[in-house]
A and B are shown apart, each in its own frame.
Chain A
Amino acid sequence: MLTQVPQQAATLLIAPTGAGKTLSGFLPSLQHLDEFPMEGLHTLYLSPLKALTQDIHRNLLEPVEEMGLAISIETRTGDTPSHKRQRQRRKPPNILLTTPESLMLMLSYADADKIFGKLNTVIIDEAHSLVANKRGDFTTLALARLQAYAPTMRRIGLSATVAEPPLLAGWLGETGEPAHVLQVDTPVKPDVRMLHSEARMPFGGFMARYAIADIYREISKAGTTLVFVNTRAQAELVFQMLWEENHKGLPIALYHGSLSKEQRRKTENLMATGKLTAIVCTSALELGIDWGNVDLVVQVGAPKGVSRLLQRIGRANHRLDEPSKALLVPANRFEALECQAAIEAISNNELDGERPQPGALDILPQFIMNCACSAPANPQIIYQQVLNAPPYQGVDRLTFDKLWQFTVDGGYALQAYDRYQRLIKSDDQCWEPASKRVIQRHRQNIGTIVEAGRLKVKRIRRANQGKIIGEVEEHFAQQLVQGDTFYFAGEVLRYEAIRDMQVHAKPAKGGEPKIPSFSGGQLPLSSFLADRVRALLENPDRWRTLPEQVQQWLALQQQFSVIPTQQQVLIEQFEYRKMQVSLYYTFEGRKANQTLGMLLTKRMEKMGLKPMSFSVTDYGLSISALRRIDETQVAQLFAPDILGDELEDWMLQAPMLKRSFRQVAVVSGLTEQRYHSNQKSMKQVTFSTDLIYDTLREYDPDHVLLAVTRADAERELLDLSRLADLLIRFVGKTRLINLDKPSPMSIPIVLNVRSEQVKGAGAHALMEQADLYAEADAMLDEVRALLAGKQ
C-alpha cells in the first residue's frame, strides 16, 4: 500500500471491516508530512458520517503523538463552533477530517483556492456508501472542484467489500481515469445463523416482539452485542421490550440518528470504554466506528441487502482471523425467507451492488452557485469541471446551459420582469452572486438530504426547565394531545405542549405510549435478494433449512391458496376491512410495483372499480378498492395498450412526481429547506412546492426543473418502456384466486401501512357518504328562488 499509492492518481482500497484500512489510508500522508513538514492543508479526509470524523480523529491522534510527529489534525463538521471554523480558514491544519457538506461549504469561500491550493491527498472513507445516490453525486462534484484547485491531488478511496469493484473505481477517479484497485480478501466467512425460536412467530408485523426473550438470552451469553434494527421506531420499541426483559439489569443502550448529539456522544464513549453489554441501533452505527470488542451482531427484521448485512455483521469482532458472529431475527414469517436467502448468498460469496446512475441534475444549480460564491464563474470552465465528475460525464451542454440559466434568473419562459437575478455578470464571461443575501441563502442550504420538518424534544424536569434530548418529526408531534405518552430516547414521556417550536414532555409511567414514526426509515430490498427469495420459494426441497414454523406457514399457503411461481402472476382477492383487496405477487421489486400500482389503479378508476389506495412491498402490490375484480377485468387490467401519451401526461400529475419535485426544489435552490429554529408560530407563510409544480406545469411546461423532476422520479420508478415489457410478459399469465379472507402469505403485505391514496371516484364516494347535510335540498330551493331573478 505504502509503495503503491504515491504513483497513482487514484487508488481504491477494498478491505473487509477490521482490516485497519482507514489508518492505512492515512499512512502515505503521515509519511510524506514527516519527511516534508509544511504549513497548510495537506490531506483532506471525507466521511459520510459526522461521528466517524470524531472517531478517526481519536484513533489518528494517538499514533501520531506516540511517534512524536509534528502534524496538526482537526475535524470540521456542522457541529464545529464558528470561532474554530474561522481559525481553520485562516490557518488550516495539515490533516482535516470532514464531511462532503462541510467540504462544499468551504469550497464556497472566497479563499477556497488558498485553503486547498496545496492539497496533496483526499481520502474518501466508506466510498461504497456513496455510489448511486445523490450524496455521492454531490461528493464527486466537490472532488472535481478540488482537483481544479489542486491538479496533482491524489484520491484514495476506502471501501468495504463490493460486488463489482471496477464500478466503484470508475466513480472514484476523474472521468475516464478509474482508480487503481487494491483488494484485501476476507480470510474467514462470518458465522451467520437464523433464530429458530420456540415462541410463536407472527405472520405479519415488523417489531419481533415474539423473539425478545431469545434475543435477551443471546445478549447475556455473548458479552458485547450490537442489535441492529431497520428503523428508528423499531429501535425505540425493541429497546423498551429488551428492558422489560432485562431481569439481570444488563447495561443496554439505545442509538439512532434522532437522538441529540450529546446523547449519542455519551453512548459512543460508554461503548468505547467497554461499559455497555448491548446497543440497540439503526444504520447510524453501521459505518466505520471501531468499537474494538463486539462479540455478536443481532439483526432484527429482514436484512434487505447482502452487502448491507455484511457491513453490519462486520461490526462484530474486529479481528481478521476469527469469524464474525451474527444472528438474524426475522420479524415475521415472510422475512424468514429473506433471512435464509441472505445466509445462502453469504455462504456462496455473492454480493448485491447498486449500479452507478447518471448524476442527479438538481445538484448542478447548487454546484454552480457554490462555484460562483467563491469566485466569478465562467460557464465554460464550470461545465468542464462538471464533466470531470464521473456521474456527470454525459451531461450535454444544452442541459447544462438551461441549468445555468435557472441558477441565474430562474430560467422561466414567461418572465414578467427580470429585476431579481441570483447571478449577475461580473465581466464579459463570468458571473457572480447578485447580493450577499444570495450567498448567505445558498450557504445555509448546502447538501442533498431533504428532511421532513422536525421539532426538538425537551425533557422537562420542573417548570420549563429541562434539556433537549433529540428530535421528532413535525407530523408526529402534531397528532399528540396533552396527556399522550410516547417512547423516546428509551423512556416513556408524557406530552405537555409545543412551545417555541419544541415539544415539551415529562418523564412518565404507563399509558399506551405511541412510537414516533420517521419518514424515509424504510430500507429498499435489493433486487438481487428479491430474486433469491423467489427462487427459494419455488423450490420446496429447499424449505427444510427454514424454521419449522415458516415451513408450516408455506404449507398452509399451499393449502389455502397457492405458492406464487415464476410462470404465473398470482392474484389473490379478498375482503379486508370493508375493502376489496387485490394482491399481485409480482416479485418485481418496489420500483416496478410502485409504477404498476399507479398504472393499475388508473385503469381500475376508468373501469369504475373505485380504487382507494395501494401499497407496495418488494414482493407484491396490494390494491384496495370498493368493487371486486372478475376474470375478464383482470385481462383488461394487464392489457399493454394504454401506455400512450395520456399515461405520460397522467404520470406528470402523479403524487410520486410531486414528491420528487419537493426534493428537486430544495436541492436545486428553488425553495429552502424549512428549518424550524428560524420560524415562529404563524405557519402559513410557507407554502407547498406542489403549488409551484402545478403552476409550472400549466404556464411553463418546458421548464428545465420539470425535466429534472421526471428524471429524478425515474430513479424511484420504473420507466415506461420497461413497464411495457413487464406487462407484455404478464399477458395471459395471470391467475386470479378469490378467497374468503387474507391468505397466510398476504398478511405482511396487507399489513404494510404505508399506502398510496388514489384520487378519484372511490374517494369521492366515501367522502360523500360522510356528508351529513341532509337539509341541503331545502337550502337549495331557497337558493334557486333567490337566483331566479338574476339573469
Chain B
Amino acid sequence: MAVSNSEWLSEKLRQAQIVAMRFADKTWLLDARGVAYLPHKDLLVVSDLHFEKGSYLGHYGNPIPHLDTRATLSRLNRIVEDYNPGTLMCLGDSFHDARGVERMARDDLNTLTQLISRIDCWQWILGNHDPQIPEQLAGERLHRTQIDSIGFCHEPEPDWPQCQYQVIGHFHPKVKCRVGRYPVKGRCFVMGDKYFVMPAFGQYTGGLWIDHEVMQPLVPKASRRCFVMQDERIFAV
C-alpha cells in the first residue's frame, strides 16, 4: 500500500496533502482528506460519517440529492486503499439516524460491507446519532476504547481518569482565519493539551467554529493547535 512507500509519503508531505504532528507523545499523520493515522498502532481514525443524512432530510421535504452516502463511501474507499490500516475506527455518528441503514441503497450497502471486510479490525464507536449500529454490519461496537493513555470516544468524557488524552468527534470543528493576508476557511483538526477533536468526514456535514463557546473549554484558545483543510491541502494555522 501507498503509505509504507517512503516516496509516496514524501510527495504527499511536499504537496501539503498530509502533515505530521505530535499529540499524546505520539506522531500522527493528518490527511487533508479528513482522516488521522496513528503509525504506532496502524490505526486510521475517521469521525462523523453521517451516512444517509441526505435521505433523512428528505423526510422534512428537502429535495436535496441523496448521493451523500455514495460520495462519503467513495472518498473513504480511496483513503483505505492508500493506508490499508490494521484498524479502522469510526469515531461515532457514522449513521445520521437509527434507521439510516434501511434507507441505504443496495449498492452503497455492498460497498460498505466490502470495505468492512477488507479491514482486520473495524471499530464502531457509538455516537449520539447512532447509539446502535445495525446488525447486518460487521465490526466491533464500542462506547469507548483506550490505547495507552489515549481514550477514543465520540463525545468528551471528563470522568475518565485513566486517559490523560482523548480523541473525540462530535463537534465538526471548522476555522476561519488569516495566514498572512490570505483568508483561510475550512474544516479542521484541533487539539489542546487533553482533547484532540476530529473533523467531520460525512459529505453533508456542517461545522462549528472552533471559537464557539461550546468548544472553547475543550480546546482553549491559548493552548490549541489547529490544522485547516482547504483546497485538498492541510496547513497548520
Q: Interface on A for B, CB 8 Å cutoff? A: 406-407, 409-410, 412, 414-417, 419-420, 422, 434-435, 437-438, 441-442, 478, 577, 579, 612-613, 669-672, 681-688, 691-692, 695-696, 698-700, 703, 757, 759, 763-764, 766-773, 776, 779-780, 782-784, 786-788, 790-791
Q: Which residue of the partner chain, among B27, B205, B231, contacts A763 with CB atoms under 8 Å?
A: B231
Give chain B residues whose Cβ lies under 8 Å from the Cβ of A684. 171-172, 200, 205-208
| Shortest CB distance B237–A (Å) | 7
User: Residue among B29, B42, B55, B62 with the most chain A CB within 10 A?
Assistant: B62
Residues of B28-42 whose CB lies within 8 A of A: 29, 39-40, 42
| Shortest CB distance B203–A (Å) | 6
A422 with B63: in contact, given A768-B235, A776-B13 (CB under 8 Å)?
A: yes
Judging by beta carbons under 8 Å apart, are A759 and B231 in contact?
Answer: yes
| Shortest CB distance A678–B (Å) | 13
| Shortest CB distance B154–A (Å) | 14
Judging by beta carbons under 8 Å apart, are B4 and A787 in contact?
Answer: yes
Distance of A419 Cα from B59 Cα, bound (Å): 9
Distance of A699 Cα from B181 Cα, bound (Å): 36
| Shortest CB distance B9–A (Å) | 7
Distance of A109 Cα from B105 Cα, bound (Å): 37
Which residue of chain A is the closest to B178 with respect to CB atoms? Answer: A770
Judging by beta carbons under 8 Å apart, are B214 and A691 in contact?
Answer: no
A757 with B183: in contact, given A683-B208, A773-B19 (CB under 8 Å)?
A: yes
A695 with B39: in contact, given A416-B105, A767-B179 (CB under 8 Å)?
A: no
Asked if B137 CB lies within 8 Å of chain A CBs, one says no
Residues of B202-237 whose CB lies within 8 A of A: 203-209, 211-214, 230-231, 233, 235-237
| Shortest CB distance B205–A (Å) | 6
- Of B65-73, B116-124, B141-149, B160-168, the stretch lying at the interface with chain A is B65-73
Judging by beta carbons under 8 Å apart, are B66 and A416 in contact?
Answer: yes
Q: Which residue of the partner chain, among A420, A577, A681, A782, contacts B212 with CB atoms under 8 Å?
A: A681
Give chain A residues whose Cβ lies under 8 Å from the Cβ of B29. 783
User: Residue among B16, B27, B183 with the most chain A CB within 10 A?
Assistant: B27
Asked if B104 CB lies within 8 Å of chain A CBs, one says yes
Can you list 24 A-B pairs, Cβ within 8 angstroms, ordered by A?
Answer: A409-B63, A412-B67, A416-B66, A416-B103, A420-B55, A441-B61, A441-B62, A682-B214, A684-B208, A688-B206, A691-B204, A696-B67, A699-B70, A757-B183, A767-B179, A768-B235, A770-B180, A770-B236, A771-B19, A771-B235, A779-B20, A779-B21, A784-B9, A787-B9
Which residue of chain B is the closest to A784 with respect to CB atoms? Answer: B6
Give chain B residues whose Cβ lies under 8 Å from the Cβ of A773. 19-21, 236
Distance of A424 Cα from B139 Cα, bound (Å): 40
Distance of A415 Cα from B63 Cα, bound (Å): 11
Asked if B134 CB lies within 8 Å of chain A CBs, one says no
Give chain A residues whose Cβ lies under 8 Å from the Cβ of B64. 410, 670-671, 692
Judging by beta carbons under 8 Å apart, are A783 and B20 in contact?
Answer: yes
Which residue of chain A is the closest to B38 with respect to CB atoms? Answer: A786
Distance of A759 Cα from B235 Cα, bound (Å): 14
Asked if B115 CB lies within 8 Å of chain A CBs, one says no
Distance of A610 Cα from B48 Cα, bound (Å): 35
Q: Which residue of the partner chain, among B1, B13, B66, B209, contacts A415 with CB atoms under 8 Å?
A: B66
Give chain A residues whose Cβ lies under 8 Å from the Cβ of B206. 683-688
Judging by beta carbons under 8 Å apart, are B40 and A435 in contact?
Answer: no
Asked if B138 CB lies within 8 Å of chain A CBs, one says no
Distance of A779 Cα from B13 Cα, bound (Å): 12
Which residue of chain A is the closest to B53 with respect to CB atoms? Answer: A687
A412 with B213: in contact, given A612-B182, A683-B206, A787-B3 (CB under 8 Å)?
A: no
A770 with B20: in contact, given A696-B67, A783-B27, A787-B39 (CB under 8 Å)?
A: no
Distance of A772 Cα from B19 Cα, bound (Å): 12
Distance of A422 Cα from B27 Cα, bound (Å): 50
Distance of A406 Cα from B200 Cα, bound (Å): 29
Report, nearest first, the 5 A-B pairs whose CB atoms are least far apart: A416-B105, A687-B206, A420-B58, A410-B63, A684-B172
Give chain B residues whose Cβ lies under 8 Å from the Cβ of A687. 204-207
Which residue of chain B is the closest to A481 with respect to CB atoms? Answer: B211
Give chain B residues whose Cβ lies under 8 Å from the Cβ of A407. 63
Distance of A786 Cα from B6 Cα, bound (Å): 11
Give chain B residues whose Cβ lies under 8 Å from the Cβ of A786. 39-40
Judging by beta carbons under 8 Å apart, are B208 and A682 in contact?
Answer: yes
Give chain A residues whose Cβ lies under 8 Å from the Cβ of B103. 416-417, 419
Judging by beta carbons under 8 Å apart, are B65 and A783 in contact?
Answer: no
Distance of A791 Cα from B4 Cα, bound (Å): 7
Give chain A residues whose Cβ lies under 8 Å from the Cβ of B172. 684
Give chain A residues whose Cβ lies under 8 Å from the Cβ of B66. 410, 412, 415-417
Give chain A residues whose Cβ lies under 8 Å from the Cβ of B230. 759
| Shortest CB distance B31–A (Å) | 13
Give chain A residues whose Cβ lies under 8 Å from the Cβ of B21. 773, 779
Judging by beta carbons under 8 Å apart, are B182 and A767 in contact?
Answer: yes
Distance of A692 Cα from B67 Cα, bound (Å): 9
Residues of B148-198 whose CB lies within 8 A of A: 171-172, 179-184
Distance of A682 Cα from B6 Cα, bound (Å): 41
Judging by beta carbons under 8 Å apart, are B65 and A767 in contact?
Answer: no
Which residue of chain B is the closest to A433 with respect to CB atoms? Answer: B61
Judging by beta carbons under 8 Å apart, are A769 and B180 in contact?
Answer: yes
Which residue of chain B is the closest to A780 with respect to CB atoms? Answer: B20
Residues of B103-118 whose CB lies within 8 A of A: 103-105, 108
A768 with B16: in contact, given A692-B204, A699-B71 (CB under 8 Å)?
A: yes
Distance of A683 Cα from B211 Cα, bound (Å): 12
Q: Which residue of the partner chain, among A414, A670, A783, A787, contacts B63 with CB atoms under 8 Å?
A: A670
| Shortest CB distance B206–A (Å) | 4
Q: Which residue of the partner chain, among B20, B60, B67, contacts A437 with CB atoms under 8 Å?
A: B60
| Shortest CB distance A680–B (Å) | 11
* New A-B pairs, 16, CB < 8 Å, besides A442-B61, A764-B233: A407-B63, A409-B63, A412-B67, A416-B108, A441-B61, A613-B182, A681-B214, A684-B200, A685-B206, A691-B203, A692-B65, A771-B19, A787-B4, A787-B9, A790-B1, A790-B3
Judging by beta carbons under 8 Å apart, are A695 and B42 in contact?
Answer: no
Judging by beta carbons under 8 Å apart, are B60 and A441 in contact?
Answer: yes
Which residue of chain B is the closest to A759 with respect to CB atoms? Answer: B231
Judging by beta carbons under 8 Å apart, are B203 and A695 in contact?
Answer: yes
Give chain B residues whose Cβ lies under 8 Å from the Cβ of A681. 212-214
Distance of A613 Cα from B67 Cα, bound (Å): 33
Distance of A759 Cα from B70 Cα, bound (Å): 27
Give chain A residues whose Cβ lies under 8 Å from the Cβ of B70. 414, 416, 699
Judging by beta carbons under 8 Å apart, are B63 and A757 in contact?
Answer: no
Distance of A498 Cα from B224 Cα, bound (Å): 23
- Contact indicator per residue, chain B 85-114, by CB within 8 Å of chain A (1) or not (0): 000000000000000000111001000000
Give chain A residues whose Cβ lies under 8 Å from the Cβ of B9. 780, 783-784, 787
Judging by beta carbons under 8 Å apart, are B200 and A695 in contact?
Answer: no
Q: Which residue of the partner chain, among A437, A669, A790, contacts B4 with CB atoms under 8 Å?
A: A790
| Shortest CB distance A431–B (Å) | 14
Distance of A298 Cα from B212 Cα, bound (Å): 43
User: Residue among A686, A763, A784 with the most chain B CB within 10 A?
Assistant: A763
Q: Which residue of the partner chain, among B71, B108, B184, contacts A767 with CB atoms under 8 Å?
A: B184
Distance of A347 Cα from B104 Cα, bound (Å): 68
User: Residue among A612, A613, A688, A771 with the most chain B CB within 10 A?
Assistant: A771
| Shortest CB distance B67–A (Å) | 5
Judging by beta carbons under 8 Å apart, are A414 and B39 in contact?
Answer: no
Give chain A residues whose Cβ lies under 8 Å from the Cβ of B19. 771, 773, 776
| Shortest CB distance A112–B (Å) | 21
| Shortest CB distance A584–B (Å) | 21
Which residue of chain B is the closest to A685 with respect to CB atoms? Answer: B206
Distance of A446 Cα from B166 Cα, bound (Å): 46
Q: Which residue of the partner chain, among B16, B58, B61, contacts A764 with CB atoms under 8 Å?
A: B16
| Shortest CB distance B103–A (Å) | 7
Which residue of chain A is the closest to B202 with respect to CB atoms? Answer: A687
Distance of A671 Cα from B61 Cα, bound (Å): 9
Give chain A residues whose Cβ lies under 8 Å from the Cβ of B69. 416
Distance of A1 Cα from B208 Cα, bound (Å): 60
User: Residue among A441, A577, A695, A770 with the most chain B CB within 10 A?
Assistant: A695
